[in-house]
Amino acid sequence: MKKRKLGRSNLEVSAIGLGCMGMTFAFPPFPEKKEMISLIRTAVERGVTFFDTAEVYGPYSNEELVGEALAPLRDQVVIATKFGFKPASESEANSRWTELDSRPEHIRKVVEGSLKRLKIDVIDLLYQHRVDPKVLIEDVAGTVKELIKDGKVKHFGLSEAGVQTIRRAHSVQPVTALQSEYSLWWRQPEEEVLPALEELGIGFVPFSPLGRGFLTGKINESTKFDSTDFRSTLPRFTPEALKVNRALVDLLSKVAKEKNATPAQIALAWLLAQKPWIVPIPGTTKLNRLEENIGSALMELTKDDLREIDEAASKIKIEGARYPENLQRTVNR
């Protein structure tokens, strides 16, 4: 597995990471814990060194899973987790957390809990999960700076933050990585975010690099999502939108056939080709998908390939909003 550095930091990780969210959260049904422990450890054997989790995934159970799986392999891996949500009340324990909380005292409390659940002494990369408009980003960055000084955190990250927020945070504590959605069917980061990250020397970690499974070609307008599946709430995943958006999968399938690859591998290889400091974190619960994703790091798309993909993709209008309105308000702040 090739390695990449996140921006101008000294944080080096595998070119493809593993997003662990779907193992316990958002995309049911969830596999047995022992199966996922085995999958995570197999990922390390295959060269993956970058693992992504968060306290809210579960909640808590995802960090516990990642912690148990990676405990014997701690010196070989980089673990990223996130703070920023207010816990649901006891009566809402199984509901999604929706309120934000990035108050300094809450950040410190979350970090203590994450360290225990992950069975580690220091968090390699700590992201603010979503920008909290009630808390100055300078106070958030300052708190993480103190945690770094205390030896509890190594690197500071932001997720779904807008450019001005990134700049303000970076002026207090250098930001190592921004994690936001980016793929061939969500290219908004190219407008302002990517140029700012390049200027500031910040790495980029695209989540949902396969469009929450859509770009694999395994989802179409006939696909039925359980009501507890996060995708059932997304405008982009209505049958009507999926039917229209199929044109993008057809494009990936065409290129994949020429390259003796899969649509997912082309989608990931396209991302890797955009910048040398981009590290996608596709999630999966299946070994064959893990191996397929890892295989994309070995693929080389030529300038002609990239031009062909961009020209064809520019003619495809993506149908459906990325998030419902209530969630859309929490991104790009």
Q: Active-site residue numbers?
A: 57
SS3 177: strand
Closest CA to 288 of 216, 219, 205, 224: 216
The DSSP code for 120 is -
Rg (CA), the chain: 19
Q: Which residues contact 160 (CB under 8 A, 6 or more apart)?
A: 130, 131, 179, 180, 181, 330, 331, 332, 333
> Tokens standing for 75?
């010196």
SS3 43: helix
CA distance 308 to 311: 5
Peptide bond into 29 cis (omega under 30): yes
Contact 260, 3 (CB under 8 A): no
CA distance 16 to 6: 12
Strand positions, DSSP E, the chain: 3-5, 12-14, 18-19, 50-52, 78-83, 123-128, 153-159, 175-181, 203-207
Closest CA to 205 of 18, 2, 1, 10: 18
136, 280, 14, 75 alpha-carbon torsion, rounded to 10° = 50
